[in-house]
Amino acid sequence: MKITELKGRLPDEIIESISKRGISELTPPQELAIEKGLLSQKSITVAAPTASGKTLIAEMAMLKAAIWNNKKAVYVGPMRALVSEKYSELKEAYPYMNIGISIGDLDSLDKWLEKCDIILVSTEKLDSLIRHGLLWLDQIGCIVFDEIHMLDEVGRGPTLEILISKLRRLSREAQIIALSATIGNAEEISKWLGSELVKSDYRPVPLERGIELDGNVIYGRREREERLAGKSERAEIRIVEDTLSKGKQLILFYSTRRSTESGAENLAVVVRETLSEQQREDLRKVSKEILGFLGRPTAQCEKLARAIENGVAFHHSGLVNAQRKIVEEAFRRGKIKVICSTTTLGFGVNMPAHTVVVRDTSRYDGGFGSRKISVNEVLQLFGRAGRPKYDKMGRALLIAKNKEDAKVLYKRYIEAGPEPITSKLGVLPVLRSHILAFVASDFLTRDDSILTFLNETFYGYQYSDSATIEGIVREVLRELEEWKFIESRVSRWQATRIGEKVSELYIDPVSAKWIIDSIPRLHDDVSGLFMIANTLEMKPLSKATEEAEEKILDYEQMLQGGHYEDTFYEPERAFGTALLLRDWISEKSEAELLASYSETPGSLYTKVSNADWLLYSSMELSKLMKVNHTRLLELRARVRYGIKNELLDLVGLEQVGRVRARMMFNSGIRGVADLRKEGAEQKLERLFGKEIANRIYSQVKGFVD
């Protein structure tokens, strides 16, 4: 079916915009979705491979709802990076639409979203907006849930499941579009959602899945064998040599961040030999960007920059977001030839390559040791292979150690289909936060109504064990009442003011209880930092240093007499995280912190960001407790900038962070008032140059004149 055949069924401007993107014909999944009622407001679940056109299916439904039905359309993605990418794509494709994005502050209603036609949000952000009393739920005409298979993920799945179930009640007339590439039980999910199922194996670039052994690749049931070009004895290097000889790009997936970095180092020499002088010059520019981003490069920055100069990069959560984006863009433009990545590139973000290699099919899982990764995850990673417009065929490979291993890999990952998705909702810690939110928002206030709602979730659809879930609900309600987050009002529950605030802050009730109990015990900066570090939201924690193991004895009284034993089972590591933050606000360099606490730039900035949010939450709770929060206010500012008290005045200026503030202080400019003194402007120029000096000085210039 041609796009032009949709005239009269889609707004003309949408057909024109789609055509301008070079799309003239619908793919089979898109055509099937229309046959199933996509443009007649029928809810649709799409299970189809990567690049089969799922996004356009969602776009057509959203845009029709917004333009012709005068309704809001909401796109929900599980990860901020994915939501940001989709926002950029939609803004470029449909510049005449009022499109908004919200993925940040979880204690904000973002009222400006009321004016938007299309709204893109992360799962947690939309759940938070509903907790804050969202007023435009009845105006929603279409809701898109991307990566619906995330229902199966322990961390994000329950919130997604609760959110879907809430919206099915609160926005009953809305069309639901659920998208995924890997669903083993698509029929079951489609029935739960009350949707039509669009299931397709169509892929614009066919994918060959194979296993490498001793320099040979065996595809499928030995339907084809390929001898790899190259001379290396190491399988992953041989595959890279072969891919580069074809003039193609490649992504290798590893199980650990360390492996991605060593993999990139090992491949650098091989890739460098294939580069032209112009390519090397282009890569030197990318390398400089990486080095310059943090101001003072860390050892990891330098390692990444060296790899990039040779046409290779590594990609993992230890990089800061801006560095990951630089790597992704350079790969899309063909400058970087090989990326060694953890699963950070495996989900959502559009980063295809000709060849994908999943080198590690086992992963260390906390205290449970090594475990095999799921078929669904491998298929998701395989989905990155094959670039539309560039490749006639994509190649996805596993590496076998021997013939027996090859048989096992073939049976588990090549022959088998995706596993069924199961609900992860039915456990007490997961339900605690959501049940508080039900009561706090007056969504559900009685035991029976909570149980009825949970029977409408995917958990309730899959399991009929109502006795188990009833026991969990009663235990959660008992705990919340004991902690004074809710109270009984005849036949219904009502949230206390502090319970409402805990729900709005979007922190776990256990974390909130710990913070509330800890606030009166705070006596210094470290106790404040230990309070926020010893929460669920701060995980993963830093390592327990020798200093942490010794000094925690001085703060053990904070752990006495509370409901923390089951949850906070790593107090030494939490205290180690507190000491990391202590050193951060003592202005130790990032290089020192990364070395001392075995952190990466990405994990350091994530901890600082989480600490900022938790200190804000602690301040809000202390206000309700009528406890002076001045110490927390000051500590939050110091954590945000990584500074000692003496720099607090200076960092209030734009263009001034921890490094510039310290330079100004050491040169005699010890506060904003000193900028009004004679000679201050010249000092700034000597420190930072004329342009930066003017920007800083202009903020107080009016007072000088």
Residue 420 lies inside a defined structural domain of this protein: no
What is the number of structural domains in the chain?
A: 5
The CATH number of whichever domain residue 491 belongs to comes to 1.10.10.10
The CATH number of whichever domain residue 45 belongs to comes to 3.40.50.300
Same domain flag for 179 and 32:
yes
The CATH number of whichever domain residue 630 belongs to comes to 1.10.3380.30
Helix axes of 321-332 and 277-293: crossing angle, nearest 10 degrees: 170
Q: Is 386 helix (H, G, I), strand (E, B) or coil?
A: coil
Tokens of 576: 């180690």
Q: How far apart are CA 553 and CA 565, in angstroms?
A: 16
Tokens of 412: 């588990």
Same domain flag for 318 and 257:
yes
Same domain flag for 51 and 190:
yes
pLDDT of residue 430: 86
Q: Is the whole model's pTM more than 0.85, yes or no?
A: yes
Q: How many CB atoms lie within 10 A of CB 366?
A: 7
Residue 605 lies inside a defined structural domain of this protein: yes
Low-confidence ranges of the chain (pLDDT < 70): 294-295, 347-349, 365-369, 561-569, 701-705
Sheet holding 118-122, edge to edge: 99-102, 118-122, 72-77, 140-145, 175-180, 44-47, 196-199
Place of tokens 């000491």: 579
Q: Which of 623, 642, 661 is the last residue of a domain?
A: 642
pLDDT of residue 369: 67
Same domain flag for 307 and 377:
yes
Q: Number of helices (H) and strands (E), helices first, in the chain?
A: 30, 19
End-to-end CA distance of the chain: 70
Residue range(s) defining the domain that contains residue 582: 507-642
How deeply is 182 buried, as exposed, middle or buried, from its count of CB atoms within 10 A (0-12, 13-18, 19+)? buried
User: 675: which residues sit within 8 A by CB, 6+ positions away?
Assistant: 669, 684, 696, 697, 700, 704
Q: Which of 642, 672, 687 is the last residue of a domain?
A: 642
Tokens of 639: 């954590």
Same domain flag for 192 and 290:
no
Q: Residue 522 CA to chain centroid, in angstroms?
A: 32
Residue (of 677, 654, 651, 676) closest to 664 by Cα position: 651
Q: How many CB atoms lie within 10 A of CB 128?
A: 25
- Residue 117 contacts residue 129 (beta carbons within 8 Å): no
Task: Give buried/exposed letters for 135-174 (b at 16+ CB in 10 A, else e).
Answer: ebbeebbbbbbbbbbbbbbeebbbbbbbbbbbbbeebeeb
Q: 566-579: per-residue pLDDT in tens?
A: 445 688 999 999 99
Kindly write down the DSSP assignment for every residue of 103-116, as one continuous string: -S-TT---GGGGG-
Same domain flag for 140 and 266:
no
Q: How far apart are CA 352 and CA 636, in angstroms?
A: 41
Q: How far apart are CA 244 and CA 250, in angstroms?
A: 8
Q: Is 312 helix (H, G, I), strand (E, B) or coil?
A: strand
Enter the DSSP assignment of 374.
P
Residue 191 lies inside a defined structural domain of this protein: yes
Same domain flag for 254 and 363:
yes
Same domain flag for 629 and 679:
no
pLDDT of residue 343: 84
Same domain flag for 250 and 390:
yes
Same domain flag for 623 and 523:
yes
Kindly write down the DSSP assignment for every residue of 404-453, as one continuous string: HHHHHHIIIIIIS-PPPP-----SHHHHHHHHHHHHHTTS--SHHHHHHH
For β-strands 44-47 and 72-77, DSSP reports them as unpaired
Residue 421 lies inside a defined structural domain of this protein: no
Residue 423 lies inside a defined structural domain of this protein: no
Same domain flag for 440 and 552:
no
Residue 455 lies inside a defined structural domain of this protein: yes
Tokens of 674: 């000193």
> Which sign, positive or negative, has the C-alpha torsion 299, 305, 307, 309?
negative
Q: How far apart are CA 451 and CA 468, in angstroms?
A: 11
Residue 451 lies inside a defined structural domain of this protein: yes
Which residues, in sequence order, are bridge partners of residue 175? Answer: 142
Residue 422 lies inside a defined structural domain of this protein: no
Q: Which of 482, 503, 524 is the last residue of a domain?
A: 503
Same domain flag for 666 and 634:
no
